[in-house]
Amino acid sequence: MTGVSDTPGPLASAHAIAAGVRAGTFRAREVLEEHLARVEALEEDVHAFNLVLADSARMAADAVDADVAAGHDLGPLAGVPVALKDNLCTRGVPTTCSSLILGSWKPPYDATVVQRLASAGAVVVGKTNLDEFAMGSSTENSAFGATRNPHDLTRVPGGSSGGSAAAVAAAFAAVALGSDTGGSIRQPASLCGVVGAKPTYGLVSRYGLIAFASSLDQIGPLARSVRDAALLLDSISGPDPADSTCLQDDPPSASARLEGGVEGLRVGLVRELAGAEGISPDVVACTRDAAEALSGLGAKVDEVSLPAAVYGLSAYYIIAPAEASSNLARYDGVRYGMRAANHGTDAADITEMYLRTRSAGFGAEVKRRIMLGTYALSAGYYDAYYGQAQRVRTLIIRDFEAAYETFDVLLAPTAPGTAFELGAKTADPLTMYLNDVCTIPSNLAGHPAISVPFGVGDDGLPVGVQVLAPALGETVMFQVAAALEAAAPPVALPSILSAGRTG
């Protein structure tokens, strides 16, 4: 290959990397080595990964370079380092969900999104840490230790996709995939100062995503720019016969109108979320600043009410645990993962074996949610709890439908505050659950939403603002997000990128 030059800097975009690799300006292997060097220097402090796949990543990068040398057409993510949340099945590679019960389970197949990344030419750097089975808002509920926020190593990165968000913020990977059940992409994106999007339910195949709550889970991108997030989403979305809940029509393009601006678009500032009790004043101020910025760019901005949104948190914490109770029943010591023994002896019967395995294999938060869900589904309580929560879900959907008759997109905070200190909320589950108050309504409705960094809080840490859109409204959602990103005040890069290891 001729014309090879220095690789791009540590914060190069996925677009720039792919274009450079395809053009032969630099090699995929060189790009990868730069990222692996940062992982080697900083991962001990951040703990973004459960597993770094250095050897297989080098093989993948070399294969990309060989294709370039042979003149083959390459995909849109050629040579781009990508991190995968450790609840996405990767063939022959441990996929743990950060849970002891899965141990070193190695799936015999790849998730559809993993296959699509490979087809697009991406290079997988590793599997990222998460709250166990994606149940949490801080990535402290991992059996393998907490992840730390690259902007302040004493703070959480958010969750449950905290490892993926931290990997992108720390430039361990150009982009990453997470999963979002109640805000698990958008909330850590907000706390880590990156872009995170939850697509329309069914836009991206869930085949190979280890389920938490099947009617809510969606896979989506984390990136350092709206453009890169759109590129990644476009690369993984589309019909999949392996997932019966996947939409069968061609997906909308997230990248189609990134330069379209917001002139004439109607933007609704959600009253219940932009000024709700528990939302920090500095976050409210950033959200209102974002609304003013869009207005200044020609959008028509006004307040809108979603009355049922205030009940979203309560409904979610019945529906999601109920589905988790059903989905996690398969982890029983027979079909998947570990089987616990008592002092090296076999259990007396299958009931005792189940009890030992699930007691030892699941962490406290997962047990809590299984018990909540089982209770909500039990005879005599189903209608009062689960049935009522589903009725609230319907009300939220109707409120969104009414709002989108008037507005093209909605605007709201992403998280109630900035990144909080490690350990600050672990003793109080209800306080931890409140971190999802702004993100949950979109999951209940099945609609897309994206978090974009927009300023900092009083503590100097990043604040994310959320753009919400109707089902299959990704094109206009990313259009507004790009305009918002361009108008946003600057956010300082994580200090570790220049300071190196801190200890």
The whole-number pLDDT of residue 345 equals 60
CB-neighbour burial class of residue 17 (10 A; exposed 0-12, middle 13-18, buried 19+):
buried
Model confidence pLDDT, tens digit, residues 107-158: 999 999 999 999 999 999 999 999 999 999 999 999 999 999 999 999 999 9
Beta-sheet pairing, 218-223 with 300-304 = unpaired
pLDDT at 86: 98
Q: Determine the average pLDDT of the residues in 418-424.
A: 98
Nearest-angstrom CA–CA distance, 342 and 332 = 16
475-477-481-483 Cα dihedral, nearest 10 degrees: 70
Residue 214 is among the residues annotated as catalytic for this protein: no
pLDDT average, residue stretch 307-315:
96
> Residue 502 pLDDT more than 50?
no
Amino acid found at 214: S
Q: Which residues of 388-412 are buried (b: 16+ CB within 10 A; e: fewer)?
A: bbeebbebbbebbeebbeebbbbbb
Catalytic status, residue 184? yes
Give pLDDT, residue 498: 66
pLDDT reported for residue 503: 34
User: Which one-letter amino acid corresponds to residue 199?
Assistant: P
Q: Tell me which of 500 and 314 has the higher pLDDT.
A: 314
The number of beta carbons lying within 10 Å of the beta carbon of residue 251 is 21
Q: Which of 249, 250, 260, 201 is nearest to 226 (CA)?
A: 260
Q: pLDDT at residue 428 above 50? A: yes
Whether residue 373 is predicted with pLDDT greater than 70 in this model: the reply is yes
Task: Tell me what the pLDDT averaged over the chain comes to.
Answer: 94
pLDDT band at 389 (very low <50, low <70, confident <90, very high): very high
* CA–CA–CA angle 29, 35, 40 (5° rounding): 115
For the segment 29-54, what is each residue's pLDDT rounded down to a tens digit? 999 999 999 999 999 999 999 999 99
Find the catalytic residue in 98, 99, 184, 190: 184
pLDDT in tens, 338-364: 887 654 567 778 888 888 888 899 999
The answer to whether the CB of 130 falls within 8 A of the CB of 159 is: yes
What SS3 state is found at 123?
strand
Report d(CA 267, CA 404) in Å as an integer.
10
- pLDDT tier at 5 (50, 70, 90 boundaries)? very low
Q: Are 416 and 469 in contact (CB under 8 A)?
A: no
Token pair 């008759």 is at which residue?
Answer: 405
* Domain 14-313+390-499: CATH superfamily, name plus number: Amidase signature (AS) domain (3.90.1300.10)
Q: Which of 160, 190, 205, 451 is catalytic?
A: 160
Return the structure tokens found at 1: 């290959």
| DSSP track, 336-383 | SS----BTTB--SSHHHHHHHHHHHHS-HHHHHHHHHHHHHHSTTTTI
**Contact in structure between 415 and 435 (CB atoms under 8 Å):** yes
pTM, to two decimals: 0.95
Separation between Cα atoms, residue 355 and residue 324, nearest integer Å: 18
Annotation marks residue 160 as catalytic: yes
